[in-house]
Amino acid sequence: MKRLSGVAALLLVLVCAAPALSAYVISQSVIGSGGGSASGGSYSVVGTVGQPAIGITEGGSHIGEIGFWYQPGWILTAVDEDESPRSFSIGQNYPNPFNPVTTLAYTVPTRSRVSIVIYDVTGRIIRTLVDEDIEPGRHKAVLHATGLPSGVYFARMVAGAFTDTRKITLLK
């Protein structure tokens, strides 16, 4: 077996240690799914060492989940464990406009009775998506609009004193 010289051994150590010494930066284009701006929300990373990280963005009218590219050598040293929402919210449905299925993301900070009801433009109840006690966290409600005509509808969330409404559009 051939022995490495002192210089060769030092170079080998430096080459192997270089990834650990450099900082990894997730560019804004990665957060923005390949191009758009990624400002105006709060970003957190959720995951475990050895798995691709998942980013969660959240703002006044949206909650989105984004995958980050995984690079060997990343070591997550700390993850914020407090991911519980601090307020009630209902996000804009996605996709919007939709045909025939759309999703509404909503957050609940404390165990509460939550109601999410779909109305037409005349105020008539079309569907009830949620009407139950919900545990704290991030949740999703799915609207299957099979049998409904194209048009504008409203999704209204009520939880205790919280009430908010989103306009949704069905295009066939």
- Residue range(s) of every CATH 2.60.40.3080 domain in the chain: 89-170
Winning range, highest mean pLDDT, from 13-27, 69-83, 87-101? 87-101
For the question of whether the overall pTM of this predicted structure is more than 0.75, the answer is no
CA distance 43 to 75: 18
Distance CA 124, CA 7 (A): 80
Helix and strand tally (H, E) in the chain?
2, 10
Cα Rg of the chain (Å, integer): 23
Residue 50 has pLDDT above 60, yes or no: no
Fold of 89-170: Immunoglobulin-like (2.60.40)
Distance CA 46, CA 124 (A): 41
- Helix H or strand E encompassing 7: helix 6-21
Q: Which pLDDT score, from 0 to 100, does residue 12 have?
A: 52
Q: What is the pLDDT of residues 59-76, one digit of tens each?
A: 555 555 555 444 455 555
Share of the chain above pLDDT 70, in %: 52
**φ, ψ at 30 (rounded to 5°):** -70, -45
pLDDT at 39: 45
DSSP per-residue codes, 44-66: EEE--TTS--EEEEEETTEEEEE
Residue 166 near residue 155 (C-beta atoms within 8 A): yes
In this predicted structure, the answer to whether residue 24 has a pLDDT above a threshold of 70 is no
Give the pLDDT band (50/70/90) at residue 43. Answer: very low
